């Protein structure tokens, strides 16, 4: 008997026959679309967890990136809008760079898939303007550009906007830990600086 048959046989024996039909799941909580997305709330929640928020027009993103990363080497995903990059940064295109190479770069600029106002969360789904998961992990500064129409109110809203078959990364503030006396401390293994640029 294979382990698979053994485990499944045990579980069926444990449940017995006839099975009790499970009750329907009550979903009385705030469902998708029941709350309006609130940009100010998103800004508050991001800031509260030590992300730095910048608001500007799409045409001014490059100026903000210049202030944050001017003079530095940054990794960029394959289809990052070029007008977001100022002349002052040295972009290194991620065409399957090695981990060791990415780890030597100062920062990364990406777009986002969705942002959740209530929790201050940015979702990346690996689209060509966000790139592979590794590029937002090793550099110490992550600058993420969010368009206002990408902002949703709640977690249920966010789940309807992404494809489960893509690799997803939910980011809420910079890397942190609560492992020392249960206090939140920012800055462990992921980027220690998270900048979110919200464009109108």
Partner 1 sequence: MSRTFLGMPTPAPRGVGHLRGDEPFPAAARRALGDAQLRRNLRHATTTIRGKSGAVIGEVPDWQELRAAGRAIKTDTMARLPELLEQLEAAVTAAGGTVHWAADAVEANRIVTDLVRAAGADRVMKVKSMATQEIGLNEALEAAGIEPVETDLAELIVQLGRDKPSHILVPAIHRNRAEIREIFLREMPGVDPGLTDEPAALAAAARRHLRRTFLSTKVAISGANFAVAETGTLAVVESEGNGRMCLTLPDTLITVMGIEKVIPTWRDLEVFLQLLPRASTGERMNPYTSMWTGVTPGDGPQTFHLVLLDNGRSAVLADEVGRQALHCIRCSACLNVCPVYERTGGHAYGSVYPGPIGAVLSPQLTGVADNASLPYASSLCGACYDACPVMIDIPSILVHLRAEAPHPRAEAAAMAVAAYTMDHPALYAAAQRAAKLSRLAGPRGRGLPPPLSGWAASRDLPQPPSETFRQWWAER
d(Cα 94, Cα 74) in Å, to the nearest integer?
Answer: 10
Closest among 170, 68, 78, 180 to 124, alpha carbons compared: 170
Rounded to a whole number of angstroms, the minimum distance from the CB of residue 192 to partner 1 is 8
Q: Which is nearer to partner 1, 20 or 57 (CB)?
A: 20
Q: Which is nearer to partner 1, 86 or 191 (CB)?
A: 191
Residue 18 makes contact with partner 1 by CB under 8 A: no
Distances (CA, A) of 75 to 114, 140, 167: 21, 11, 19
Rounded to a whole number of angstroms, the minimum distance from the CB of residue 56 to partner 1 is 25
Assess contact for 128 and 77: CB atoms under 8 A.
yes
Query: Residue 41, Cβ neighbours under 10 Å: how many?
Result: 18
Which residue from 17, 23, 87, 149 is in contact with partner 1, where contact means CB under 8 A? 23
Rounded to a whole number of angstroms, the minimum distance from the CB of residue 42 to partner 1 is 12
Give residues 57-96 in contact with partner 1 (rule: CB under 8 A). 96
Rounded to a whole number of angstroms, the minimum distance from the CB of residue 102 to partner 1 is 10
Give residues 121-180 in contact with partner 1 (rule: CB under 8 A). 121, 126, 132-134, 137, 154-156, 159, 164-180
Query: Residue 129, Cβ neighbours under 10 Å: how many?
Result: 19
Beta-carbon contacts of 8 under 8 Å, excluding residues fewer than 6 positions away, are: none
Intra-chain end-to-end CA distance of the chain, in Å: 61
Interface size with partner 1, residues (CB under 8 A): 76
Which residue from 86, 107, 120, 139 is in contact with partner 1, where contact means CB under 8 A? 120
């Amino acid at each position: 008997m294979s382990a698979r048959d053994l485990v499944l046989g045990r579980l069926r024996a444990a449940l017995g026959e006839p099975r009790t039909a499970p009750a329907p799941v009550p979903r009385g909580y705030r469902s998708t679309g029941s709350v309006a997305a609130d940009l100010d709330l998103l800004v508050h929640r991001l800031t509260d967890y030590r992300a730095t928020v910048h608001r500007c027009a799409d045409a001014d993103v490059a100026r903000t990136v210049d202030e944050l990363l001017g003079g530095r080497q940054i990794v960029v995903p394959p289809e990052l809008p070029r007008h977001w990059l100022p002349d002052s940064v040295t972009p290194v295109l991620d065409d399957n760079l090695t981990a060791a190479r990415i780890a030597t770069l100062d920062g990364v600029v990406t777009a986002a898939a969705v942002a959740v106002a209530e929790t201050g969360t940015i979702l990346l789904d690996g689209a060509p303007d966000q790139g592979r998961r590794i590029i937002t992990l090793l550099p110490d500064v992550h600058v993420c550009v969010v368009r206002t129409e990408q902002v949703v109110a709640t977690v249920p809203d966010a789940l309807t906007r992404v494809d489960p078959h893509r690799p997803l990364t939910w980011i809420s503030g910079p890397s942190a830990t609560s492992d020392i006396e249960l206090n939140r401390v920012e800055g462990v293994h992921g980027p220690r600086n998270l900048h979110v640029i919200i464009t109108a």
